[in-house]
């Protein structure tokens, strides 16, 4: 068996196109474009790359975007004041504080300061609580992107046994909640595995749908996968490789070569889940604008 590749880059481009057309229609009717503010503190190269990608996606979709760069020695009070100003800005529908923040900043305090109605990352406890009890709110972009990817690939989750490897607040926990939620994209029986799971392979080999989000390069191998399973690789890791021009290669949490010989469908890294995360960030911002400005 050779797994079919789930092309997240292609799916994300389709979604961004849909969003762009709706934004163009809204602005043609005299409504302001959705507004996204991105806050970047420090000079983390990966964070700078992600912010550039998000800013470019906003421009492509016709959004109004603002970027606030702050030095690594920015104070917590200065960031809190910036968040408060963005909360009050009627032109801003979504606020994204790029993580990680400098070590001296209390990340939780900053994230809690964001208005839940503008928390398009879905990290605020209000939105986390809404997800857990099935109420409308913002869902973290990566698991939301996985659900959308499965839906557009025609992968039914109803009645399936889904295993999520990883229990982070950003991916693992919300992914499990989406898969077990009532309705389309949910109704799965879900098991969450983590570092204390005694025999990980014994669980993953039962999964009809396997989502790997543990942050360990190629930790899930082909012999841990049920034949015909759908494998979603959320991880992105750098592995030293002197044979490469840059001295490293990028890979996921799944060993792609061995897994693709067993799975029915699989996401690549890069080009799988990553582009979907940005597409869902735009969708959440558009949804916030709909609520604030009107559909």
Residue-wise pLDDT for 187-242, tens only, equals 999 999 999 999 999 999 999 999 999 999 999 999 999 999 999 999 999 898 88
145 and 265 share one domain: yes
Domain assignment of residue 23, yes or no: no
CATH number at 77 reads: 3.40.50.10860
Question: In the predicted model, what is the mean pLDDT of the chain?
Answer: 95
Look up the domain containing 93 and give its range. Answer: 32-116
Q: Contact, 214 vs 146, CB < 8 A?
A: no
Give catalytic status of residue 54 as yes or no: yes
Reference 216, options 199, 231, 235; nearest CA is 235
CATH number at 218 reads: 3.40.50.720
Say which of 93, 119, 121, 233 is annotated catalytic.
Answer: 121
Q: Is 22 left (phi over 0), alpha (psi -120 to 50) or beta?
A: alpha
C-alpha–C-alpha distance, residues 196 and 219, integer Å: 15
Note the pLDDT tens digit of each residue in 66-90. Answer: 999 999 999 999 999 999 999 999 9
Give catalytic status of residue 173 as yes or no: no
Q: Is the pTM of this model over 0.85?
A: yes
Q: Where are the alpha helices (DSSP H) in the chain?
A: 8-28, 45-61, 76-88, 107-113, 125-133, 141-152, 172-180, 200-204, 256-259, 273-293
Give ∠ CA 259-264-265 in degrees, rounded to 5.
80
261 and 149 share one domain: yes
Say which of 93, 98, 118, 233 is annotated catalytic.
Answer: 98
Give catalytic status of residue 10 as yes or no: no
Query: What's the whole-number mean pLDDT along residues 136-142?
Result: 96
Say which of 54, 118, 160, 226 is annotated catalytic.
Answer: 54
Q: Which two tokens stand for residue 99?
A: 């993580």
Domain assignment of residue 52, yes or no: yes
Asked whether residue 294 carries a pLDDT value surpassing 80, the answer given is no
Q: Name the domain count of the chain.
A: 2
Specify the 3-state DSSP secondary structure of 163. strand
Asked whether residue 292 carries a pLDDT value surpassing 80, the answer given is yes
């Amino acid at each position: 068996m050779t797994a079919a590749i789930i092309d997240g880059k292609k799916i994300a481009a389709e979604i961004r196109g849909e969003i762009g057309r709706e934004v163009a229609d809204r602005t043609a009717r005299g409504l302001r474009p959705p507004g996204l503010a991105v806050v970047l503190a420090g000079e983390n190269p990966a964070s700078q790359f992600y912010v550039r990608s998000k800013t470019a996606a906003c421009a492509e979709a016709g959004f109004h975007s603002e970027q606030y760069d702050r030095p690594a020695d920015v104070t917590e009070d200065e960031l809190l004041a910036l968040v408060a100003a963005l909360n009050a800005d009627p032109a801003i529908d979504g606020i994204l504080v790029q993580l990680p923040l400098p070590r001296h900043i209390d990340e939780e305090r900053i994230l809690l300061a964001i208005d839940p109605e503008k928390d398009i990352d879905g990290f605020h406890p209000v939105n986390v609580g809404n997800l857990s009890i099935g109420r409308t709110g913002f869902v973290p972009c990566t698991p939301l992107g996985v659900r959308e990817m499965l839906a557009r690939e025609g992968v039914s989750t109803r009645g399936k046994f889904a295993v999520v490897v990883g229990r982070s607040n950003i991916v693992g926990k919300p992914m499990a909640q989406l898969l077990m939620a009532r309705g389309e994209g949910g109704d799965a029986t879900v098991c969450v595995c983590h570092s204390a799971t005694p025999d990980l392979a014994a669980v993953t080999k039962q999964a009809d749908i396997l989502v790997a989000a543990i942050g360990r390069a190629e930790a899930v191998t082909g012999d841990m996968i049920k034949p015909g399973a759908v494998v979603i690789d959320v991880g992105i890791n750098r592995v030293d490789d002197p044979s490469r021009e840059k001295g490293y290669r990028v890979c996921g949490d799944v060993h792609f070569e061995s897994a693709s010989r067993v799975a029915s469908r699989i996401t690549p890294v890069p080009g799988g889940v990553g582009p979907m995360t940005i597409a869902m960030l735009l969708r959440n911002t558009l949804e916030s604008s709909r609520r604030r400005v009107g559909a």
